[in-house]
Amino acid sequence: MNNPRSHDLFTRASQLLPGGVNSPVRAFKSVGGEPFFAERAQGAHLFDVDGNRYIDYVGSWGPMIAGHAHPQVLAAVERTMRNGLSFGVPNPLEVTMAEAITRIVPSCEMVRMVNSGTEATLSAIRVARGATGRSRIVKFEGCYHGHGDSFLVKAGSGALTLGLPNSPGVPAALADLTLTLPYNDFDAATRLFEQAGDDIAGLIIEPIVGNANCILPEDGYLQHLRELCSRHGALLIFDEVMTGFRVALGGAQQRYGIVPDLSTFGKIIGGGMPVGAYGGRRDLMSQVAPSGPIYQAGTLSGNPVAMAAGLATLELIQAPGFHDALERSTHALCDGLEAAAREAGVAFHTTRAPGMFGLYFREGPVRSFADAMASDTQRFNRFFHGMLERGVYLAPSAFEAGFVSSAHGEAEIAQTIEAARAAFAAL
Ligand SMILES: *Cc1c(COP(=O)(O)O)cnc(C)c1O
C-alpha cells in the first residue's frame, strides 16, 4: 500500500502529539508500521488521504453501528447545528435523549449525559461510593473502563496492547482501592466478597469483555455477580459503553436478563460525536447534583448537536430486525474467517456477539483473560498487515474487539473472507 501523504502527516504529528496520535491504539505501535490518515468514510468503508479504500471493522471503535456518514445522522446534525452549537441552558433534545435511554434500558430510571465513556464510568463509581459510603471498587482483569485513575489497574484496551496495564501517575493509595478479579471465575468472586464485601462500593464490569479481544460470559456468571453484589450491599455497574445498543437494543443487560444498579454508555449513543451517559436506579441517580450532593457537571454535556447525532443513530437501530441482521452478518463473517483459516491450516478461533467479534490465533475455546492472552500476537500482527494490504482494516491490536455495522452487507463480508483466504495462506 502506498501511503506518502499519511507518512508525511504522521511524521509531522509525531513531533507534536505524543506518539503522533490523540489516543494510543491508533498509532499502530503493537502491530508495527504507521497509521493511515482518514480523509472520509462512507457506509462500511474508510478512505485514506492517499486514495486507498478499506472495509472498516473498527467503526470508530464502536459508534458507527449504522455505518459511516449515514444520511439520516448527517441530516439530523445539519438541521440541529443551524440553530447554534451550544447553549449552556437546557435544550429539548436532552429530554428526548433521556426519554429514549430510559425506555430502551429500563434499569436506567434516571440518566445524566456526559461527554465520553471515561466520564461516564468515573461518575458512576463516584455515585457508587457516595451512595454506599464505601471506598473500594472491584474490576476485572483486562476490562477497560476509560482512563480514570481507579480503572488503570490491570486495564484492557490500549493499556493492555502497549503493556501498560498499571499506569504511572495513579497514586498507590487510589489504586489500592481497586480490587481485581479474573473474569468468568465464579469462586474468585465469591471469595473476594466474603473477605471484603462490606467495603465494596461497587463492582464494574464489561458484561461482554471487548477490551481484551472479545470474551463472552459463562452461563450464569453475570447472575452470580448480581447475587453477590445484592447480598453484600455493593452496587453492580454494567459498563455498556461498548455493548450498549449493540449486542441487543437494550445492551448486554437485555441479552442476559440482568438488572444492574448503574450502567454506563458512550460510543453508539453519540453516533460519532463525543457523548457518554450514566444512569440507573432512581434512588441512586437522584443523589447526583443538583438534586443531591454527589457532584458531577459538564460545560458541553447534553450538547444539542451531539444529542441529534445520537438520537438519529438510536432511531436507525430501532428498525425492526436491526440487531438480528447484525447478528447474522457477524456470524457470516466469523464463520467465513474460520473456514478460510482451516483451509490454510492456521490455528484460529473467533468469538462473537451481535455486531462484535474477537479473533484469536489459537484453538478455542476462549473463556478467560488468560485464554485470550494466549493468542499468537505475532501471527495476528502479520494477519493484520496482510488484511490491510488487501483493503480490510481490522483493529490494530490483538486485544481489541472488532465491530460489524449494518452497512457491512454480503458483498463486503465476501470480500473480507476472500482477503482473509489470501492473508492466512501468506502467514
Ligand atoms: C471505549 C470504552 C470506554 C471509554 O470510553 P471513551 O469514550 O473512550 O472515554 C469505557 N468503557 C468501555 C467498555 C469502553 O469500550
130: CATH:
3.40.640.10
Q: Indicate yes or no: pTM above 0.95.
A: yes
Note whether 103 and 23 are same-domain residues. Answer: no
Note whether 401 and 346 are same-domain residues. Answer: yes
Single out the catalytic residue among 29, 57, 267, 393.
Answer: 267
- Indicate if ligand 1 lies below 6 Å from the C-beta of 403: no
Amino acid in position 298: G
Note whether 13 and 161 are same-domain residues. Answer: no
Ligand 1 midpoint to CA 157 (Å): 9
CATH code of residue 368: 3.90.1150.10
CB 170, CB 152: distance < 8 Å: yes
The residue among 263, 283, 317 that closes a domain is 317
Note whether 248 and 231 are same-domain residues. Answer: yes
Query: Rounded to whole angstroms, how far apart are CA atoms 396 and 412?
Result: 19
Annotation marks residue 144 as catalytic: yes
Ligand 1 midpoint to CA 118 (Å): 6
Note whether 293 and 163 are same-domain residues. Answer: yes
Largest Cα span, the chain:
61
Q: What is the pLDDT of residue 1?
A: 52
Range of the domain at 154: 71-317
Q: What is the pLDDT of residue 154?
A: 85
Bridge-based pairing of strands 402-403 and 356-360 is antiparallel
Annotation marks residue 360 as catalytic: no
- The residues facing 224 across adjacent strands are none
- The residues facing 140 across adjacent strands are 181
The residue among 264, 294, 317 that closes a domain is 317
Q: What is the pLDDT of residue 25?
A: 93
- Indicate if ligand 1 lies below 6 Å from the C-beta of 145: yes
Number of domains in the chain: 2
Ligand 1 midpoint to CA 188 (Å): 25
Q: What is the pLDDT of residue 245?
A: 98
The residue among 270, 296, 317 that closes a domain is 317
Note whether 55 and 84 are same-domain residues. Answer: no
Residue of 188, 187, 184 lying closest to 215 (CA atoms):
184
Note whether 61 and 84 are same-domain residues. Answer: no
Note whether 275 and 343 are same-domain residues. Answer: no
* pLDDT under 70: residue ranges of the chain: 1
Annotation marks residue 50 as catalytic: no
Note whether 167 and 235 are same-domain residues. Answer: yes
How many H-runs (helices) and E-runs (strands) does the chain carry? Answer: 15, 14
Note whether 92 and 138 are same-domain residues. Answer: yes
- Indicate if ligand 1 lies below 6 Å from the C-beta of 239: yes
Mutation test residue for ligand 1: of 144, 150, 400, the one with most atoms within 8 Å of CB: 144
- Indicate if ligand 1 lies below 6 Å from the C-beta of 313: no
Note whether 217 and 131 are same-domain residues. Answer: yes
Residue of 323, 360, 405, 399 lying closest to 60 (CA atoms):
405
Note whether 190 and 107 are same-domain residues. Answer: yes
- Indicate if ligand 1 lies below 6 Å from the C-beta of 146: yes
Length of the chain: 427
Q: What is the pLDDT of residue 167?
A: 86
